[in-house]
Amino acid sequence: MQTISLDHTDRKILDLMQTEPGINASAIGERIGLSQSACWRRIQRLREEGVFKDHPVILDREKVGLTTMVFAHVKLTSHGRSNLSEFADAVRAYPEVMECYVLLGNVDFLLRIVAEDIKAYEQFFFEKLSQLPGIQEVTSSIVLSDIKHSTALPV
C-alpha cells in the first residue's frame, strides 16, 4: 500500500471531514481559506487517491440497543494457525464482530464484538465463535464504559 503525500491544506480538510461529519466543500473552504471549487477539487483528488472512501454514518451502539461490547482474544491451535484465512472468512460473516485484528504474541486475534446484552454475547460465543474449527482458547473482556472512542485519525 502506497502512502499518499499530504500537504498542510489536505490535512486540514481531512481533519474537518473527520471531526464534522456532513460538512460541505463550501464550509471547509471558508474555514481554511480556499474557494469552494478549489476545496472540492482537493476533496475529489483525496477520494480518487483512496485517502478516504465515504462519509459513513456512525451510530451510537447503545441507542440502537447494543449495550454490550466485548474484546475477545482468540488463540488458535497450531493446526488452526495453518488456516488463518478460514478463521478470518468465518469472522467476516458475523455482523456482531465489528473489528478483527491479527496479532503477534500470546494470542492470534483480537475481536471487538457488540451484542444487545451479556446473554446475547453468551449465545454468540457458544453458538458461533466457539464452534469455529481450530480454536484453542477465547478470553473475553467485557467493556464497562467507554472512556474514549474516536474514528478520527490524528492527521
Domain ranges for the chain, please list them.
8-48, 68-142
pLDDT of residue 151: 84
Name residue 116's amino acid. Answer: E
pLDDT of residue 39: 96
CATH architecture of 68-142: 2-Layer Sandwich (3.30)
Burial class (CB in 10 A: 0-12, 13-18, 19+), 111: buried
The pair phi, psi for residue 69, each rounded to 5°, is -125, 135
The pLDDT of residue 55 is above 70 = no
The pair phi, psi for residue 18, each rounded to 5°, is -75, -40
CATH architecture of 8-48: Orthogonal Bundle (1.10)
Banded model confidence at residue 126, pLDDT cuts 50, 70, 90:
very high
Lowest mean pLDDT among 15-29, 48-62, 136-150: 48-62
Q: How much is the average pLDDT of 98-111?
A: 95
The pLDDT of residue 155 is above 70 = yes
Domains 8-48 and 68-142 share a fold: no
Stated pTM of the model: 0.81
Q: Which residues face 75 on adjacent strands?
A: 137
Distance, in Å, from the CA atom of 121 to the CA atom of 127, rounded to the nearest integer, reads 10
Distance, in Å, from the CA atom of 58 to the CA atom of 5, rounded to the nearest integer, reads 27
pLDDT of residue 8: 96
pLDDT of residue 33: 96
The pLDDT of residue 22 is above 70 = yes
